[in-house]
Structure 1
Amino acid sequence: MLGMDRNWMYGKRDFYFLKRLDEFISHDVSHQKQHGDEEHLICPCSICNNRKKVSCAKELRDHLVMKGFKPDYHVWIWHGEKEYDMQGTSNALNQGNKFDNVDEFEMHGLDFNDIPINVDNDNDDSHDKDNNVEGDNIDRMMDDLERDFIECPEIFQRLIDDSKKPLYPGCSKFTRLSAVLKLYTLKAANGWSYKNYSDLDECPRRKAARYKIKAGDKKKRSPIKTLWYLAIIPRFIRFFANLKDAEYMMWHHEERNKDGKLRHVADAPQWRTIDRTFPDFGGEPRNLRPELCTDGINPFGTLSTQHSSWAVMLIIYNLPPWLTTKSKYILLTLLLSGPKQPGSDIDVYLAPIIEDLKLLWNVGVRVFDVASGSHFQMPAILYCTINDFPAYGNLSGYRLKTDKGCPVCGDDTESE
């Protein structure tokens, strides 16, 4: 399309460059008209990087003249090009053509001593074609999705991680994301229903049953234990979407009486220790410091042991003390329901909330604060846990039913 030679894209921006650029834009506009979207043109400049759209051909031309093309954009996959003679392009690029301007060359992040421009060899016969096509499609999909997740970078980051993480340890053919896409493609292409997907009836390692199956009726079955997880990140974001709640989140910093007396959790030495240890975290008062608490309950009001329900909740210590333990601000995050309590295996059920808390601490989430009218990157730290002694043993893994059951006293525990 429009000739094999693409050296003009990264050469001197002279009359020849402008002529070829106009040809490129004309073709792009024609291509977009065929798809009914000529008013939104994908911009391949070095800044937009094929991830943003411009409203007209003139704006596209201005971007490319001022900023140049994104590096190594030799196959115009976002502008209507489907097939391309990569071997011909490789030969043309390796004929010794150089940039006429060193500054322009370095602007694209290339080494001035590297005369040839690297070309992807995904079409090499020595590679597995199916794997290459699949990998290319995932890369293109991730580029396309990034535009839709500008306001939710943590979700996009999860997709990025899943696109790189093997489906299982040692798997080289599929990632977690590509495996799901492969199954979904097969499902859509062949009209599969959910019945085509088999479900394990027991744990592959411990052979424990997964379902309660009534005698003589294998079709009717219910899980032995069920976990409900109410995602915490969207609810954290909503705190700052409400003006009053957003102001409450700053109360500990702006309105608390700081006379050295212990009136609020923020007056505690632990709060100050966190601020000193992690100054970047402590420097933003809107960063969250939740407490985790859990215990088992009997929802039926009897002493029967036929059913157990465990609740895992978060309490936000940024709030004023008269709101901290109000039901409106206590976040129920996990509810574990089953015939027996989780015991020391509670860590298995805590995995979803632990994953979100790690994401909040390591990366944070982009949040719009309606009180200040601006965005900020909000991390969170698990400030502490509060629970009774048996629940403490389950959460920490500490053995309580011994002669050294006190985790504080340790070897000095007094027992009879």
Structure 2
Amino acid sequence: MDKSWMKKSRLSRDFMQGIKEFLEFASHNVSNDGTISCPCMRCVNSYMLTLEVVHDHLVSYGISPGYNCWYLHGEIMSATTSSRTSQSHEEIRPEYGDIRDMLRDVFPMHTQNIDEYAEESNLPEPSDQGPSMQRPQEDPNEEAQKFYDLLKDAEKPLYEGCKNFSKLSAIVHLYHLKCLNGWSNHSFTMLLQILRDMLPSDANLSKASYDAKKIIKDLGLGYEKIHACPNDCMLFWKEHANDEVCHCGASRWATNENDLQHNMSTSSKKRKKKAAKVLRWLGLAADGFNPYGNMSTSYSIWPVILVPYNLPPWMCMKRSSFILSLLIPGPSSPSNDIDVYMQPLVEELKELWDVGVQTYDISSKENFQMHAALMWTINDFLAYGDLSGWNTKGALACPSCNYETHSR
């Protein structure tokens, strides 16, 4: 079937006619209650709706650009597509997995047409409407371009004829072994060098640990380590980054337990406003836990997690959607001094609200300025006292009742 209308403007006649032909085709495969899965940009085949509602959604939001084979609506996948899919799964041994599945988890905002981009990197065909009817297409921003570069590395074999590893998957698996076994950077570099000598001369393998780390960092696994005062007074950060002694007199190197790990997002780089505000909502969850279980009951490490609430409920609460922004090590709880450790996150949240961060919309091929606001915090009652500063002990422990507390 002719599906060129899917890449044209929603205001064009071809697009409206295409919707009509699609619904006519899908009407032969409706469910018992007369509904079909909605392939619009918002539903993405996640909801079963009536034909009339699907028509309205397609007109309002457009059709998902990655849905090229309408297999959920009765279309049979072509032999070439099915054979290519089966072949790709056969070539990858199950213990190594599919690196593109990992990219889907790391970059969920870019993976709507990941399979289409893997086959061809060109932009959608231009509409036959006049210039005033077309939406401008822009080059991907820095973060989106990282995703496309990683996608190319995921498609490039480690060497000619290699079926189990791509350039990206080889580095990921080797770096995973480095972390599991505690190899030093020097030993990992030595391993990479001897592997390059063993493999064919055209092998796409990093030369040193530094090169591998740059690739891993693009996967969103990088972090910034910030030293903290042993007495929880301040962070050796920004204007105090080069200080050796805290203002309380404690040495910066007195202990390494208080090193804060800050997973920096792209908003750490200042950007100018380029488009209208597009607001996103965030929730913040924080609490201490003991990573060693019964081995040590006195150790408490604090993760600070952001939850994006613009996703559907069944997606925003998945672990893959959580944003680990801070990791505050033990051995004890930061207690009321947690505000010292929260400074990097608070600064980024302010920037997300005031300045925003440039984001790439894969569906419209446009960059837009995304802003975010923190809605609330999620924690138990004891952690609530640390995050809010409210004294959760004593006569006025309940923040809601306050002086109206009936029980002392």
Same structural fold, with TM-score higher than 0.5 when normalized by the shorter chain: no
- TM-score, normalised to structure 2, is 0.38
Q: Which has the higher contact order (CA 8 A, sep 6+)?
A: 2
Rg larger in 1 or in 2?
Answer: 1
